[in-house]
Chain A
Amino acid sequence: MPETILNPSPKVSEEVKQTTCYMCACRCGIDVHLRDGRVRYIQGNRKHPVNRGVLCAKGSAGMLHLEAPSRLNSPLLRTGERGEGKFKSISWDEALSLAAGWLGEVRSEDPRKLAFFTGRDQSQSLTGWWAQQYGTPNHAAHGGFCSVNMAAGGIYSIGGSFWEFGQPDWKECKLVMLFGVAEDHDSNPIKMGLSEVRRNGGKIISVNPVRTGYSAVADTWIGINPGTDGLLVLSIIGELLRSGCIDVDGLRYHTNAPWLVNLSGGPDRGLIVRDDQGNPLVIDSRNDKLVSHMDPGAQPLLSKTITTPKGQEAATVFKLMVEKYLQPEFLPANVSEKTGVPASIIEGLARELYQVALEHSDEINHAWRDIYGREHKTMKKRPVAIHAMRGISAHSNGFQSCRALHLLQMLLGTIDTPGGTRYKPPYPKPYDIHPSPARYAGPETPLSGSPLGYPKGPEDLLIEPDGTPQRIDKAYSWEAPLAAHGMIHSVISNAAAGDPYPIEVLFLYMANMAWNSSMNTPSAMNDLKAKDRGGNYKIPKIIVSDAFSSEMTSFADLVLPDTTYFERYDGISLLDRPIGEPDLVADAIRYPVIEVTRNVRPFQDVLLELGARLKLPGFVDGNNEPKWKNYAHYLANHERKKGVGPLAGWRGKKGNESGKGEPNPDQIDRYIENGSFWSAEIPEGALYLKNVNQDYQEWAVDMGFYDSPSPFKLEIYSETLRKFQLAGEGHGPNQPPEELRARITEAFDPLPSWYPPGNISEEDFPYSAITQRPMAMYHSWGSLNPWLRQIHSENRLFVPESICQKENLKEDDWVWVESPTNRIRVQIKPMKAVNSNTLWTWNAIGKRSGAWNLSPKSPETTKGFLLNHLISELLPEQPNGMRWANSDPITGQAAWYDLKVRIKKAKTGEEGIYPEFKSQYKPPDSRRRPSTLQYGKEWTE
């Protein structure tokens, strides 16, 4: 039989448009193949700095988000009770008039009564500026339950952080150590990087209670007990210090190890010894004199105790550090039981890190100038790259554990050196050039600055004279002094309780707070619909903007339907969370590649219009007319300060300036021509050690990252933390409430420390329970996508085999899982590759019945579940009757990985997911759910 003859070159598409993916936070460049105005195929953009052509499971399935029956189609006004999901469609004019009316009234009386929080938003430079101009301090994105511990721990230590502000030098490193990294931020770059490391013959060590994904390809898996990573790291630090296996020169010249700490009693005890200009002082080894740490000729000593000319006893940071970490409590043999890591492994890790970073490291030819004016011809490679994420972040000791990791990097000299963990511009930016959070200024009055920032001491807290928090989420109060990303997880419960005060309008964008984005889902749902004695909702008005019908939209009074990422402009800005790589600075846009065919509008356009209707400064011109035609117009023309706008590429009238320059009205077109991103390479001499690199400092000023050169030392010892601790000890005018005094004093250790997470009795609740994000799903978004939901439409609780034996469990058994707060009934699957005291499951697969316009009996509802039902915003009562927030006491980060549970087999006949929630209605104008899908049928040959 003759072979069938095929057309070798069938038509692919009519047009390829390049934009930026939004199926997760990774922000890869994509080539969107279009036919008949629809998406035929999506591939990675080969020229894009983030993904260099590759694309993950989510991004490849993005076109089905455009088909989802859960897409919202028009503005909605609630007609039923909150949470029922009963709405009527209304016009945009009616929707915007209502919203502007509510918001205008609040602004004229008390702008604090608007709480405006955003979820997986990538336009925070706009939303934050809007909140500032509106005048409410009650604004943040979702970092409080996501990763503020990593951001704040990083900024206060190294002026950068893992992920967005730094990444492993995949090309040059020989050893990668991952702490608590599952599929997470930077999804494609981590996959590309791990593969590159293995192909280069490098080693990967993964510290993680669960061996999935990245840990599965690691050389060595260390199945640590959850929440003890910081202790493991401090034990490694002790080993390195005891043996002198440290980067001595790096510590002297790049960190604050030689700075002197005042040890004399009184209100200055523990503060840094400074000269009259405020410069920290070091001891010069040439003459034992005290000189500024910036003195160009100084050769600082590391280990000394002296008496200063003012008569203060003082010791170097280095000396304090050695004395602390050489304590027996950090010996490998003494941390082994708590961490679940054998002492021999801890000793082996220390040895391995030392050998790769220091003993066997090469010196490469590389000319650069430091900030002391010294010219260097070479640089040491330090090929150990550490990366850490959620497993560190989501514990109540996460801030200090993150600091411990950065200290380990400093001892090894691996911060921003070849082969280490490198900054991504516009970082580094030390905490002290970040603004402090702005204060509430009154009705009809903008805040003086951004509502979010980095406090420098207790004087920057947002509290009333009597200590009452000024923010609805209590961020920047004594309960969470360094809550640099706000505390979105506290907003709803505080607002319903009127604590510290009631609010009038809750305005949420893209945040699924009625489901997987709240710590305690049932209580969040109850708070959203709670009524006072008069039958009025305790949170009087709720506005939600989202593109899809979620659990949260069912609780809205007014829904402002958003577009998908194919249908709008976005700016991924240096003012916010830019893309970028260690060798280059970059930012990006999205632009509409598909025409909108529903009665929906991009949220950013809506926010600009609301700003104009409210006549907020910056949103209207001199005649009180709208200043911005749409978000694209704003992106190209808004200036935050002279020459600096949302986008850094093709600035200036001629479009030939980078970083700084006058607005260029054609700027967006230039981005589109370049694949929707802009990048500029860092000059060769400015690539490394940016905090002390003169060429980088000058380049960063030219680019507009800094107003003036801002060199700084990496902070082993944090004077800011010490200032809070001093307050805890009773010094200074700003004093914490008595019940928090001990906690502040313990937690705010100026040197990285470790304390056990949570305070749950292990006798009653012996097991940890955690989640991981699957690689094919992002938060709650994937279930609306028929391809992705076929990969994960239900989840099991993975139970270590040892626990299965003890509790007599086998695959598919139904079990009760109980925490001090609540209980759930779920099905299990035994697993070996997991810490023997840890249960785990995939994150955010379970859905409320009826949400996302899935069938009410979908497997996401009947077999999918959340662990969130077991987590509480508050910990169990202390002996003194107090209940602490289930958060990091420093940053307020939601401590959802602190969860402790017990497990028992369900009785015969006890089956099915518990708790069950009443099904929600779908919006009135929802598309029908098709019974079959044949995507692309019209294009097949």
Chain B
Amino acid sequence: MTSLPKSTERKLGLVIDLDVCVGCHACVTNCKAWNTSGYGVPLADESPYGNDPSGVWLNRIHSFETEQNDMSALVHFPKSCLHCDDAPCVTVCPTGASYKRVSDGIVLVDESKCMGCGLCAWACPYGAREMDPVAGVMKKCTLCVDRIYNENLPEEDREPACVRTCPTNARFFGDLSDPDSEVAQLVACRESVDLMPEQETSPVNQYLLPIERYGADELASPDFNLASLANQKSGGVLSWIDNLLNGN
């Protein structure tokens, strides 16, 4: 079994704003496109043009129907590795392939040590790890570890691919252990949650909950009515306009 560091120097992670996610899948395919030719083996697709297309993805979107202001609503929920402080996927690993980095807290798989036993995927309560069907090693979000320090990229691009591409700017990247960081500030000022806290994984990634909506019920319960303005216009709107424009 593999041990976790007692603490990490930083806690790099994602903050995902469910208030503006429209479920477009940009983060999903951009992640795949970057990572299939990035860290470790490619993200294989089986039956790519066949009857049962399925492949490895490091980030997926789940959509749920919920109630909002007594009205049905759809919530789009992007899900990838949460880089937990108490990551059960690491402690369960029999070979030391899964590990959490001391310097930045990223949870990674050293594919050269991975024997593809799949225990970590069973242990992860979020279903965030996927076994590569061709190479037989475990794949997971690396927080684009090959981008965020990469001096071959302009500094502004040294962030995870999903963050850079998100059209609604729903994804943020940074050090959640630094209270002055943008991500920590967002968590502080918005209602945010640990995903499935009962699992006691201490996830680093945080989800910002949808902000309360101004619903149809509010539209329908006025503080005043246009009808009250109409009633003030004696003779109707045409004579009101005539008077107005004639300076009366």
- A residues sitting closer than 8 Å to B (CB atoms) are 1, 3-4, 6, 8-12, 35, 40-44, 46, 51, 53-61, 63, 68-69, 183, 187-188, 191-192, 194-196, 198-199, 203, 205, 211-222, 239-245, 248, 252, 285, 299, 301-304, 318-319, 322, 326, 342, 344-345, 347-352, 354, 775-776, 786-791, 793, 831-834, 853-855, 857-859, 862, 929-941
- On whether the beta carbons of B96 and A1 are closer than 8 Å, the reply is yes
B198 CB-CB contact with A under 8 Å: no
B193 neighbours in A (Cβ, 8 Å):
none
A66 to B38 Cα, complex, angstroms: 19
- On whether the beta carbons of A41 and B34 are closer than 8 Å, the reply is yes
Least CB separation from B44: chain A residue: A934
Interface membership of chain B positions 69-110, coded 1 if the CB is closer than 8 angstroms to chain A and 0 otherwise? 001111110000000000000000000100101100000101
Partner of A219 from the list B29, B57, B213 (CB cut-off 8 Å) is: B213
A279 to chain B, nearest CB (A): 21
Partner of A790 from the list B55, B71, B244 (CB cut-off 8 Å) is: B55
Partner of B230 from the list A215, A243, A854, A938 (CB cut-off 8 Å) is: A243
A936 neighbours in B (Cβ, 8 Å):
36-38, 42
A442 to B42 Cα, complex, angstroms: 60
**CB-defined A-B contacts under 8 Å, sample of 5:** A6-B146, A211-B72, A243-B237, A351-B225, A790-B45
- On whether the beta carbons of B51 and A832 are closer than 8 Å, the reply is no
Give the residue among B53, B57, B156 with the most A Cβ atoms within 10 A: B53
A202 to B52 Cα, complex, angstroms: 43
Least CB separation from B2: chain A residue: A1
B73 neighbours in A (Cβ, 8 Å):
211, 216, 221, 833
A344 neighbours in B (Cβ, 8 Å):
219-221
Interface membership of chain B positions 37-75, coded 1 if the CB is closer than 8 angstroms to chain A and 0 otherwise? 111111111111111111101000000010000011111
B52 neighbours in A (Cβ, 8 Å):
859
B39 to chain A, nearest CB (A): 8
A311 to B108 Cα, complex, angstroms: 87
- On whether the beta carbons of A213 and B24 are closer than 8 Å, the reply is yes
- On whether the beta carbons of A350 and B44 are closer than 8 Å, the reply is no
A413 to chain B, nearest CB (A): 15
Partner of B167 from the list A188, A248, A352 (CB cut-off 8 Å) is: A188
Least CB separation from A62: chain B residue: B33
Least CB separation from A299: chain B residue: B245
A345 neighbours in B (Cβ, 8 Å):
216, 219-220
Partner of A788 from the list B2, B29, B44, B164 (CB cut-off 8 Å) is: B29
B189 CB-CB contact with A under 8 Å: no
Given contacts A285-B245, A786-B49, A793-B53, contact A41 B151 (CB under 8 A): no
Least CB separation from B24: chain A residue: A775
- Interface of chain B: mostly helix, strand, loop or mixed: loop
A8 to B150 Cα, complex, angstroms: 6
B195 CB-CB contact with A under 8 Å: no
Interface contacts beyond A53-B164, A348-B219, A352-B219: sample of 6 additional A-B pairs, CB < 8 Å, sorted by A: A8-B151, A57-B25, A61-B32, A221-B71, A344-B221, A937-B41
Given contacts A55-B26, A930-B48, contact A347 B226 (CB under 8 A): yes
Given contacts A61-B29, A241-B237, A855-B49, contact A216 B38 (CB under 8 A): no
B28 CB-CB contact with A under 8 Å: yes
B37 neighbours in A (Cβ, 8 Å):
35, 40-41, 935-940
Cβ < 8 Å to A, chain B residues 178-227: 210-211, 213-216, 218-222, 224-227
A302 neighbours in B (Cβ, 8 Å):
241-242, 245
B43 neighbours in A (Cβ, 8 Å):
934-935
Given contacts A194-B22, A195-B20, A212-B74, contact A319 B238 (CB under 8 A): yes
A853 to B50 Cα, complex, angstroms: 9
- On whether the beta carbons of B213 and A220 are closer than 8 Å, the reply is yes
- On whether the beta carbons of A833 and B74 are closer than 8 Å, the reply is yes
A53 to B29 Cα, complex, angstroms: 16
A70 to B244 Cα, complex, angstroms: 68
- On whether the beta carbons of A248 and B241 are closer than 8 Å, the reply is yes
- On whether the beta carbons of A243 and B213 are closer than 8 Å, the reply is no
> Closest 7 CB pairs between A and B?
A936-B37, A348-B219, A786-B48, A832-B72, A191-B167, A833-B72, A57-B25
B44 neighbours in A (Cβ, 8 Å):
932-934
- On whether the beta carbons of A244 and B233 are closer than 8 Å, the reply is yes
B104 to chain A, nearest CB (A): 11
B123 CB-CB contact with A under 8 Å: no
Partner of B74 from the list A211, A248, A347 (CB cut-off 8 Å) is: A211
- On whether the beta carbons of A245 and B229 are closer than 8 Å, the reply is yes
A855 neighbours in B (Cβ, 8 Å):
47, 49-51
Give the residue among A929, A935, A941 with the most B Cβ atoms within 10 A: A935
Least CB separation from B46: chain A residue: A932
Partner of B45 from the list A3, A9, A188, A932 (CB cut-off 8 Å) is: A932
- On whether the beta carbons of A243 and B229 are closer than 8 Å, the reply is yes
- On whether the beta carbons of A937 and B42 are closer than 8 Å, the reply is yes
A182 to B37 Cα, complex, angstroms: 33
A84 to B43 Cα, complex, angstroms: 36
Partner of A220 from the list B28, B49, B101, B216 (CB cut-off 8 Å) is: B216
B20 neighbours in A (Cβ, 8 Å):
194-195, 198-199, 217
Given contacts A213-B22, A790-B54, A929-B50, contact A303 B242 (CB under 8 A): yes
- On whether the beta carbons of A43 and B25 are closer than 8 Å, the reply is no
B169 neighbours in A (Cβ, 8 Å):
54, 192, 195-196, 199
Least CB separation from B226: chain A residue: A243
Interface membership of chain B positions 1-37, coded 1 if the CB is closer than 8 angstroms to chain A and 0 otherwise? 0100000000000000001111111101110111011
A781 to chain B, nearest CB (A): 14
B154 to chain A, nearest CB (A): 9
A354 to B225 Cα, complex, angstroms: 11
B108 neighbours in A (Cβ, 8 Å):
4
Partner of A242 from the list B33, B218, B230 (CB cut-off 8 Å) is: B230
Given contacts A9-B151, A348-B219, A934-B44, contact A248 B26 (CB under 8 A): no
B115 CB-CB contact with A under 8 Å: no
Partner of A244 from the list B24, B55, B167, B241 (CB cut-off 8 Å) is: B241
- On whether the beta carbons of B49 and A57 are closer than 8 Å, the reply is no
Given contacts A4-B110, A831-B65, contact A786 B53 (CB under 8 A): yes
B2 neighbours in A (Cβ, 8 Å):
1
